């Protein structure tokens, strides 16, 4: 990292190199923004073990994307398979109108207090700078060091909103208001609030000027969106949802944020409070997109465009349509909780050859979230029927999760159109196998029957080892159901899911 008088500046991405001078790529976590730097680890990202997780939020490797591609490669794989949109034609008409100025911080703060300057519009992040980082900025101002310029944009009412520089402006405004004391190595400054500084130093901060570029409201929204993206390249960037909200502000955006703040939803995600990077909001938007547009309309490798379209379609939503969507979302969340409990939205993984024990992943899986919520929407399946068959659905879902094909659909190239469609089709078929044609007799053993067998003798009928968890136990038909075998105790055998999966041709028995 480069230090400017105590202010830490982002390292250029093309400066990340090994001791031998070889360029090594950095990766950013989609969920929390953590940046993996090869300089901090002995291995490159691709060499890390598959079970490695983000040290900040425990997201898996599949939640990371390359910050800047290697200099010797034109394309870099990412697990979702997303491809970038085409940039606007630079030879086209000019559609970005700006105004430049150099106001002082005292003047900007006055605008902020009057409500004419919005430092935290819907699309911006919450305040994430630590007091140490805020203090380093104040010290840089006192040292007369240059501060990076700020970008504002006029909304439809002419109010200026911050699109780049929120953390810088907020840090200065908060310090002028006496909200925090400086935390610095300099003993003459550390521990001092604004009121504790000499009049000379107070004036130096208030009168310090900063370069401001304001994007006028007459500018084209598409070009403005592109500007947001370019401004954030090479820094702690806004993620897709934060960028999306910068363009699609309005009642529908407020609506999905309201749903994302509901306690039942946060509990399902394992969150105690709203996600600072709006991941919870994007997951709600994904549900709404698949609910309204259906998975058949998902474009190839462009989930971002799919979600953008959902916002465009609801630029002017009716109250009744939002209330209906709210009801459907709440029902889906409730049913996912009913069926999967604390394991909701998470994958079940079978054991391996050396250790047959399976286990639930601790992190959520976005591709799985999509199908779980979609499958329990009221227009798909009636609530009472799902509740009645909750145990059977859970059992069938676990069997599907451990199948090689579905497991791969949750892990790699998750945004490819054909893989999206196949993922939803398999989940639909699984639900239909449980909820439809029930007059043919029970195909799956009940949870009660399996629990009784597990308590009596938790030994795998195939490998003769103890089964450690009830969820890892598969109740197998000794005479397959497809060949007339009954779903009764005298035709049942308890096995590890892994052992059942690999006992013959790799396909779970019927």
Predicted confidence (pLDDT) per residue in 462-478, tens digit: 888 888 888 888 887 77
Distance CA(482)–CA(396), nearest Å, equals: 16
Residues in the chain: 510
Distance CA(444)–CA(402), nearest Å, equals: 16
Neighbour count for residue 78 (Cβ, 10 Å): 18
Closest CA to 7 of 193, 184, 175, 212: 184
**Which residue is associated with the tokens 């680890």?**
41
Distance CA(199)–CA(41), nearest Å, equals: 47
**Strand 150-154 and strand 212-215: pairing?**
parallel
Query: CA geometry: angle at 232 spanning 214 and 46, to 5°?
Result: 175
Quote the pLDDT of residue 500.
82
Quote the pLDDT of residue 257.
95
Quote the pLDDT of residue 50.
58
Measured in whole angstroms, the distance separating CA 24 from the mean position of its chain's CA atoms is 25
Quote the pLDDT of residue 282.
95
Quote the pLDDT of residue 360.
94
**pLDDT tens sequence across 370-420:** 999 999 999 889 999 999 999 999 999 999 999 999 999 999 889 999 999
Sign of torsion over alpha carbons 167, 158, 102, 237: positive
Query: CA geometry: angle at 121 spanning 173 and 215, to 5°?
Result: 90
Which residue ranges of the chain lie beneath pLDDT 70? 1-26, 30-33, 39-47, 49-51, 56-94, 121-128, 222, 224-225, 229, 232-238, 246, 437-444, 504-510
| Contact criterion met (CB below 8 Å) for 374 and 421 | no
DSSP 401-459: HTSHHHHHHTTSSTT-HHHHHHHHHHHHHHHHHHHS-GGG---S--HHHHHHHHHH--B
Q: For the chain, give percent helix, strand, coil, nearest 5.
A: 45, 10, 45
Distance CA(212)–CA(101), nearest Å, equals: 5
Helix, strand, or coil here: 285? Answer: helix
Closest CA to 136 of 186, 87, 90, 99: 186
CATH topology of domain 444-510: 3.40.1800
Whole-angstrom CA distances from 422 to 274, 296, 428, 509 are 32, 10, 10, 21
Distance CA(148)–CA(73), nearest Å, equals: 31
CATH number assigned to the domain covering 2-66: 2.20.28.10
Distance CA(224)–CA(95), nearest Å, equals: 9
Sign of torsion over alpha carbons 336, 342, 344, 350: negative
| Contact criterion met (CB below 8 Å) for 244 and 311 | yes
Closest CA to 262 of 325, 329, 342: 329
Write out the two tokens for 381: 């399946």
pTM: 0.58
Whole-angstrom CA distances from 348 to 171, 344, 366 are 44, 10, 14
Distance CA(447)–CA(451), nearest Å, equals: 6
Quote the pLDDT of residue 19.
38
Distance CA(222)–CA(372), nearest Å, equals: 33
Q: Which residues pair with 7 in a beta bridge?
A: 4
**pLDDT tens sequence across 78-129:** 456 666 655 555 555 557 888 899 999 999 999 999 999 988 765 445 566 7
Helix, strand, or coil here: 474? Answer: strand
Q: What are the structural domain ranges in the chain? A: 2-66, 98-236, 253-436, 444-510
Distance CA(382)–CA(504), nearest Å, equals: 37
Distance CA(80)–CA(216), nearest Å, equals: 35
Helix, strand, or coil here: 324? Answer: helix
| Contact criterion met (CB below 8 Å) for 444 and 395 | yes
DSSP classification of residue 233: T
Quote the pLDDT of residue 8.
29
């Amino acid at each position: 990292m480069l230090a400017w008088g105590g202010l830490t500046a982002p390292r250029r991405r093309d400066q990340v190199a090994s001791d031998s001078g070889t360029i090594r790529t950095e990766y950013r976590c989609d969920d929390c923004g953590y940046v993996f730097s090869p300089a901090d680890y002995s291995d490159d990202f691709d060499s890390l073990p598959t079970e490695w997780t983000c040290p900040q939020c425990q997201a898996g490797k599949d939640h990371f994307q390359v910050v800047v591609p290697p200099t010797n490669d034109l394309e870099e794989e990412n697990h979702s398979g997303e491809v970038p949109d085409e940039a606007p034609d630079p030879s086209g008409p000019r559609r970005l109108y700006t105004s430049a100025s150099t106001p002082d911080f005292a003047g900007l703060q006055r605008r902020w207090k009057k409500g004419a300057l919005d430092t935290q519009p819907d699309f911006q992040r919450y305040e994430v700078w630590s007091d140490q980082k805020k203090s380093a900025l104040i010290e840089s101002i006192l040292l007369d060091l240059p501060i990076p310029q700020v970008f504002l944009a006029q909304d439809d009412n002419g109010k200026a909103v911050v699109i780049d520089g929120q953390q810088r402006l907020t840090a200065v405004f908060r310090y002028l208001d006496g909200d925090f004391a400086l935390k610095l190595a300099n003993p003459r400054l550390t521990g001092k609030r604004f009121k504790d500084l000499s009049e000379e130093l107070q004036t130096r901060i208030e009168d310090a000027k900063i370069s401001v570029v304001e994007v006028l409201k007459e500018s084209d929204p598409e070009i403005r969106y592109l500007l947001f993206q370019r401004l954030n390249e090479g820094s702690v960037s806004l993620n897709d949802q934060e960028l999306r909200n910068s363009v699609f502000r309005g009642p529908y955006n407020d609506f999905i944020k309201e749903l994302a703040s509901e306690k039942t939803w946060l509990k399902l995600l394992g969150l105690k409070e709203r996600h600072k990077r709006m991941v919870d909001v994007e997951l709600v938007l994904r549900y709404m997109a698949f609910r309204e547009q259906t998975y058949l309309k998902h474009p190839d490798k462009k989930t971002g465009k799919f979600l953008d379209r959902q916002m465009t379609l609801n630029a002017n939503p009716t109250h009744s349509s939002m209330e209906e969507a709210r009801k459907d979302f709440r029902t889906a969340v409730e049913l996912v909780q009913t069926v999967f409990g604390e394991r909701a939205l998470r994958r079940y993984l079978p054991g391996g050859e050396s250790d047959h024990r399976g286990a639930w992943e601790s992190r959520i899986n976005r591709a799985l979230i999509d199908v779980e919520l979609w499958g329990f929407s009221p227009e798909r399946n009636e609530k009472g029927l799902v509740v009645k068959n909750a145990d059977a659905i859970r059992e069938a879902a676990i069997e599907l999760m451990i199948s090689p094909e579905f497991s791969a659909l949750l892990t790699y190239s998750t945004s490819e159109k054909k893989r999206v469609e196949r993922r939803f089709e398999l989940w639909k078929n699984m639900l239909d196998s449980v909820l439809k044609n029930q007059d043919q007799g029970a195909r799956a053993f009940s949870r009660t029957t399996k629990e009784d067998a597990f308590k009596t003798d938790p030994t795998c009928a195939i490998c003769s080892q103890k089964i450690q968890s009830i969820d890892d136990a598969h109740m197998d038909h000794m005479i397959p159901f497809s060949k007339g075998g009954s779903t009764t105790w005298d035709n049942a055998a308890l096995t590890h899911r892994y052992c059942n999966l690999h006992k013959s041709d790799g396909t779970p028995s019927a």
